[in-house]
């Protein structure tokens, strides 16, 4: 397997639908979901390279052991550095933006002494190492559009059933960190497909109105074995370990349930999270495990909630619906004697639909 990274640049405004609309206002995410990237690449391959489409099994929705490509969320770059979801367990000084120590609520700098605050959104991993906050963000714009009718492209009157609508979008020339894991034999074909799909297919909504064109540059290929070895070496240096969700984490309550499980604890004697971890490691034939730390029987966690959505390529591009799940930046204290297993979980993800960007995690040193 190969980790393929690139810089993805928006050539036109990007609208990445949140699944929610307020009146005539269409809001956008400030990152590119992995499911959107999968849709762009899958649509292009289905129409132009059906053989590669089938070899990648890019349309697989359930069994992650069958697919040969895992597309992750593309976050905005910060000074050309990839960013991750900010851990909600961490506090940063409101004045000097330094990382607070464990259970500290006030800055220790005598020239500052500001209180701490949680930081949402995306930050660089180096922020967690240096303790100095560097955020990744995007600039947005709002465009007002008029409905297109058979009589022309003009704004209907107040008594007409159609009315102008407003599109929030990410401005052109915004850079994102693209990251995917795939079989080595398909790398060159996928790179070529991404270059063409970004221009001719585009991603996100309102593509017929000129939105969604992107370009891929500065491709970097690294064997997954090297990625795991490097990350395992760094993870082994942490005496206390936190798992942080870098995207929404989608877990089934049980095999027969369509409902999702939120958090990292047990449910009626079962633990969907632990089972999902075991499944990922078993699929990739990697030994090891992790144990969630508890306090009075409850996981030592800080969690947010979000909604998982998307489209099923396999079932006629039908919407999968919105499902509550554990949100990005959620944290839990863990124990593990296998840094290699933790590094593998960073690469392949945990839970359902990891080929669509869900279940992406990373590990840092720290406590709740």
Q: What is the CA radius of gyration of the chain?
A: 21
Give Cβ neighbours of residue 150 (< 8 Å, ≥ 6 apart): none
Q: Are 273 and 349 in contact (CB under 8 A)?
A: no
pLDDT of residue 311: 57
Which of 52, 15, 306, 227 is closest to 141 using CA atoms?
Answer: 15
Residue linked to tokens 């002494």: 113
Pairing relationship of beta strands 25-28 and 165-170 according to DSSP bridges = parallel
Which of 10, 31, 11, 30 is closest to 175 using CA atoms?
Answer: 10
**CATH for 2-81+172-225 (3.30.1380, 3.30.70, 2.60.120, 1.10.3470):** 3.30.70
pLDDT of residue 145: 82
**How many CB atoms lie under 10 A from the CB of residue 222?**
13
Q: Are 69 and 190 in contact (CB under 8 A)?
A: yes
**CATH for 237-365 (3.30.70.1710, 3.30.70.1900, 3.30.365.10, 3.10.20.30):** 3.30.70.1900
pLDDT of residue 313: 60
HEC letters along the chain: CEEEEEEEEECCCECCEEEEEECCEEEECCCECHHHHHHHHHHHHHHHCHHHHHHHCCCCCCCCCCCCEEECCEEECECCECEEECCCCCCEECCCCEECCCCCCECCCCCCCCEEECCCCEEEHHHHHHCECCEECCCEEEEEECCCECCECCCCCCCCCCCCEEEEEECCCCEEEEEEEECHHHHHHHHHHHHHHHHHCCCCCCHHHCCCCEEEEEEEEEEHHHHHHHHHHHHCCCCCEEEEECCCECCECCCCCCCECCCCCCECCECHHHHHHHHHHHHCCCCCCCEECEECCEECEECCEEEECCEECCCCCEECCCEEEECCCCEEEEECCCHHHHHHHHHHCCCCCHHHCCCCEEEEECCC
Give Cβ neighbours of residue 91 (< 8 Å, ≥ 6 apart): 99, 100, 104, 105, 116, 117, 118
Give yes or no on whether 2-81+172-225 and 237-365 have one common fold: yes
Q: How far apart are CA 112 and CA 95, in angstroms?
A: 6
Exposure string of 57-72, with b = 16+ CB inside 10 Å and e = fewer, is bbbbbeebeebbbbbb
pLDDT of residue 254: 59
Question: Model-level pTM?
Answer: 0.89
Full pLDDT tens readout for the chain, 368 residues? 999 999 999 999 999 987 666 778 889 999 999 999 999 999 999 999 999 999 999 998 888 889 999 999 999 999 999 999 999 999 999 989 999 888 888 888 888 888 989 999 999 999 998 999 999 999 999 988 877 666 555 555 555 566 778 889 999 999 999 999 999 999 999 999 999 999 999 999 889 888 999 999 999 999 999 999 999 999 999 999 999 999 999 997 655 556 678 899 876 567 889 999 999 999 999 999 899 999 888 899 999 998 887 555 655 555 556 688 899 999 999 999 999 999 999 999 999 999 999 999 999 998 98
Q: Are 5 and 177 in contact (CB under 8 A)?
A: yes
Q: How far apart are CA 165 and CA 103, in angstroms?
A: 47
pLDDT of residue 222: 97
pLDDT of residue 152: 53
The residue extents of the domains of the chain are 2-81+172-225, 237-365
């Amino acid at each position: 397997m190969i980790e393929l990274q690139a810089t993805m640049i928006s050539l036109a405004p990007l609208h990445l639908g949140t699944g929610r609309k307020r009146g005539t206002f269409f809001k956008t995410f400030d990152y590119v979901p992995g499911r959107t990237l999968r849709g762009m690449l899958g649509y292009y391959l289905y129409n132009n390279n059906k053989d590669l489409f089938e070899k990648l099994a890019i349309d697989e929705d359930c069994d992650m052991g069958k697919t040969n490509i895992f597309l992750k969320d593309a976050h905005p770059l910060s000074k050309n550095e990839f960013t991750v979801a900010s851990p909600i367990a961490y506090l940063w000084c409101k004045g000097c933006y330094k990382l607070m120590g464990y259970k500290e609520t006030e800055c220790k700098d005598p020239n500052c002494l500001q209180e701490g605050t949680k930081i949402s959104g995306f930050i660089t991993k180096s922020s967690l190492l240096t303790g100095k906050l560097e955020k990744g963000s995007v600039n947005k714009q709002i465009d007002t559009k008029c409905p297109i009718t058979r009589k022309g492209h003009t704004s209907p009157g107040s008594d007409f059933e159609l009315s102008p609508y407003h599109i929030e979008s990410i401005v052109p020339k915004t850079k994102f960190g693209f990251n995917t894991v795939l079989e080595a034999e398909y790398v060159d074909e996928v790179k070529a497909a991404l270059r063409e799909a970004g221009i001719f297919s585009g991603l996100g909504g309102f593509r017929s109105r000129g939105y969604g064109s992107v370009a891929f540059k500065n491709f970097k290929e690294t064997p997954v074995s090297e990625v795991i070895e490097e990350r395992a070496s760094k993870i082994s240096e942490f005496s206390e370990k936190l798992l942080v969700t870098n995207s929404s984490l989608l877990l089934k309550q049980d095999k027969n349930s369509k409902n999702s499980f939120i958090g990292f604890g047990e449910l009626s004697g079962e633990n969907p999270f632990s089972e999902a971890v075991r499944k990922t490691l078993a699929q990739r034939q990697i030994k090891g495990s992790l144990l969630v730390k508890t306090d009075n029987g409850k996981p030592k966690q800080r969690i947010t909630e979000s909604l998982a959505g998307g489209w099923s390529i396999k079932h006629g591009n039908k919407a999968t619906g919105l499902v509550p799940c554990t949100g990005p930046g959620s944290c839990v204290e863990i124990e593990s004697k296998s840094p290699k297993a933790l590094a593998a979980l960073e690469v392949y993800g945990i839970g359902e639909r990891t080929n669509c960007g869900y279940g992406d995690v990373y590990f840092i040193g720290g406590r709740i």
